[in-house]
Chain A
Amino acid sequence: MTLDAQTFMQHLANGISVGSLYALIAIGYTMVYGILRLINFAHGDIFMMAAYFAFFGIAVFHLPWYVAFLLVIGVTVLLGAGIEKAAYRPLRDAPKSSVLISAIGVSFLLENLATFLFSGKPKAFPDFPAMTRVLEIKGISIQVLTLVVPLVTILLLFILLFIVNHTKLGMAMRAVSKDYEIAQVMGIKIDRIIAYTFGIGSSLAAIGAILWGMKYPQVSPLMGVMPGLKCFIAAVIGGIGNIKGAVMGGFILGLAEVLLVAAFSSLTGYRDAIAFILLIIILLVRPTGLLGEKTAEKV
């Protein structure tokens, strides 16, 4: 089928908007993996909890949005660090697969806890007219949010790169990632560094959840499952452990999904399959991902 230029541009805008959200969440996966060599499967569910925190902060307790957002980020960071302390730290010296299984356990725990506490019925995320306002640019309809999300993602990318490459905390993180026993010998408090890493990863999940909620204004206990998987795939595509790679993977995945729907409209029901096919191809052709290091570890 043929696409006129305007429709194509609209698809492109859609793809970038989805992709930048994927990128934002994928960074959280990649951060934790980069330091701990642990795929934190609970990341998608931390994201879901953050969306509920935002819902309660704004729709139930009527806090001003900036207070609510700061609170959401703060509480989510505590949640992430708490999960690390309760579920991962006791397994620090256990085989990697035990920690992975613990992560899956945390994921189910959070999903069922949310179903129990907030009921399975979806809740409406509060509306932000300033963000959801539609701009018409040469026949293309773009929400303000579509422009804001990529900017936030890029900004956070630079902040993270700065932290990792130019601060003492970042140096300690890199040391822990290289060899945590030696790092410990050198006087680095690895428990603290790992807790910080989880905190940063969780705060990204929180920001992602707030932006996701604005774009798809619905909150439910299983809302984190698909984004969690997709963003994990995005992180793998870019080379898991690499922050720039995660952002790249997110954009690639978002664009691939939307553009494939655009080109083959009869395949729209198989959209989720595209992400997984991409994952398989990448793992076959380039197991370390696009920007990954050579020393990939199997999980």
Chain B
Amino acid sequence: MKKCLVSILCLSLSVVMLAGCGGTKEDANVIKIGVFEPLTGANAAGGELEVEGIKLANKLYPEVLGKKVELVIADNKSDKAEATTAAARLIEKDKVSAIIGSWGSSLSMAAGDLVKNNKVPAVGASCTNPMVTQDNDYYFRVCFLDPFQGTVMANYAYQQGYRKIAIVQEVSNDYAVGLANFFTAAFKKLTGDENCIVEVGNYNTNDQDFSGILTNIKSKNPDAIFAPGNFTESALVIKQAKSLGLNVPFLGGDTWETEEFLNVGGQDVEGAVITTFFDDTAPVTDEAKKFVEEYKKEYADKESIAAVSALGYDAYLLILKAIEKAGSTDSTAIRDAIATTKDFEGVTGSITINEQGDADKNSAVIKTVKDGQFVYLDTVVIE
């Protein structure tokens, strides 16, 4: 309740202040770009990976229009109410020209109205829910969308010969529920069987015990389980499933691709299959080759490169190219330049922004966990 009040207050404050100053924010030699990510709380690991990519991009491309680009990092604390506060701070106090983020579609959506009303363009790196950019001329993204991701995973499941699937979803998370719905729709179409989803189990963010829903699922004997959700809870779901003797394959979404998922899940997440955006062992563009090389230098202790880091890098570059094209740091000009992006060669492939503000992408990478690592399995192209 208090958080809610604070965010309403911030919102109204920011609207008032904007009316007062007209929204131009020229600083002599610095261009500020806001980084809006969860750095604490349940999604911290995801946010941190995205920031790694953004920082690397900033290091390699520190200037545009002869001015220095400064990153202003705001922690949205994995919390929808905190997210509006963090976005308001970036827009109002730091007066950023554009915003990158956030990991987690619900968090991005929480900032949606703020960026729209204040006319500050935002580019999401890995927020895949369609609603992020819907009815919002100022929100863009460089990743594919959940309807696509859900279809890819449904196709994969169908090809593997799975016909009965159980779903475990993080019901308090728009991303997970959306992805589960798109998967269900696609899978029903593929199998032609209305009853192909044998059970749906719901849980909340931060839950730790899933034995009840998993026992229900076990009694339905599914061929596989699709469990979109946050990485920590998902890892615990899989661990508990194994301890209940539920030895079926687990399928998930892009959010699982974190070291924490592997650490918490350990032996039990071996064989889990995910859809993701990028594979570091097969870079598709020149920019990707450069990214992989520089990333390994910058973060030498990392064993692999997460797709969200690549997307964070792409989001930064996209904004930089747009500022260059616009020739000014005026938010509306940058917004227009982003909206007309065409064939931009990013790390995760060629990006063209469509009318909706989304990146037109038609391929996804499927990875699986093997020997404690995410390894490449397949690239799926859907026309």
Query: Taking the nearest CB of chain A, how far is it from the CB of B301, in angstroms?
Result: 15
Could you tell me the distance between the alpha carbons of A38 and B42 in the complex, rounded to whole angstroms? Answer: 31
Given known A10-B218, A223-B208, A271-B204, contact A122–B232 (CB-CB < 8 A)? yes
Asked if B41 contacts A122 (CB within 8 A), the reply is: no
Q: Which of A90-98, A183-191, A203-211, A262-270 is near enough to bind chain B?
A: A262-270
- Chain B's interface size range is 35 or more
Contact with A262, one of B212, B232, B242 (Cβ below 8 angstroms): B212
Given known A132-B243, A141-B245, contact A265–B40 (CB-CB < 8 A)? no
**Contacts between the two chains (Cβ within 8 Å), count:** 109
Contact with B236, one of A18, A218, A221, A271 (Cβ below 8 angstroms): A218
> Is B257 interfacial (CB-CB < 8 Å)?
no
What 1/0 mask marks residues of chain A from 188 to 226 whose CB sits below 8 Å from any chain B CB?
Answer: 000000000000000000000000000011101111011
Chain A contacts for B218, CB-based, 8 A? 7, 10
Asked if B260 contacts A122 (CB within 8 A), the reply is: yes
> Is A107 interfacial (CB-CB < 8 Å)?
no
Question: Looking across the interface, which residue of chain A has its beta carbon closest to that of B209?
Answer: A18
Asked if A265 contacts B199 (CB within 8 A), the reply is: yes
Chain A contacts for B206, CB-based, 8 A? 222, 225-226
> Is A4 interfacial (CB-CB < 8 Å)?
yes
Query: Taking the nearest CB of chain B, how far is it from the CB of A167, in angstroms?
Result: 36
Asked if B203 contacts A218 (CB within 8 A), the reply is: no
> Is A120 interfacial (CB-CB < 8 Å)?
yes
> Is B215 interfacial (CB-CB < 8 Å)?
yes
Given known A132-B243, A268-B201, contact A216–B213 (CB-CB < 8 A)? no
Query: Taking the nearest CB of chain B, how far is it from the CB of A45, in angstroms?
Result: 15
Asked if A258 contacts B208 (CB within 8 A), the reply is: no
What 1/0 mask marks residues of chain A from 104 to 140 whose CB sits below 8 Å from any chain B CB?
Answer: 0000000000010001111110010000101010000
Chain A contacts for B204, CB-based, 8 A? 269, 271-272
Question: Looking across the interface, which residue of chain B has its beta carbon closest to that of A112?
Answer: B40
What 1/0 mask marks residues of chain B from 215 to 245 whose CB sits below 8 Å from any chain A CB?
Answer: 1101100000000000010011001001111
Given known A120-B40, A122-B260, A226-B206, contact A261–B212 (CB-CB < 8 A)? yes
Contact with A122, one of B45, B211, B216 (Cβ below 8 angstroms): B45
> Is A84 interfacial (CB-CB < 8 Å)?
no
What 1/0 mask marks residues of chain B from 264 to 289 whose CB sits below 8 Å from any chain A CB?
Answer: 10110000000000000000000000
Query: Taking the nearest CB of chain A, how far is it from the CB of B217, in angstroms?
Result: 9
Of the candidates A136, A265, A266, A272, the one having the most CB atoms from chain B within 10 angstroms of its own CB is: A265
Contact with B216, one of A141, A265, A272 (Cβ below 8 angstroms): A265
What 1/0 mask marks residues of chain A from 1 to 29 whose CB sits below 8 Å from any chain B CB?
Answer: 00110110011001001100000000000
- 9 further contact pairs, Cβ within 8 A, besides A4-B219, A121-B260, A218-B264: A7-B215, A10-B215, A121-B48, A124-B264, A227-B208, A261-B216, A268-B201, A268-B213, A269-B204
Binding site for A on B (CB under 8 A): 39-42, 44-45, 48, 78, 171-172, 199-204, 206-209, 211-213, 215-216, 218-219, 232, 235-236, 239, 242-245, 260, 263-264, 266-267
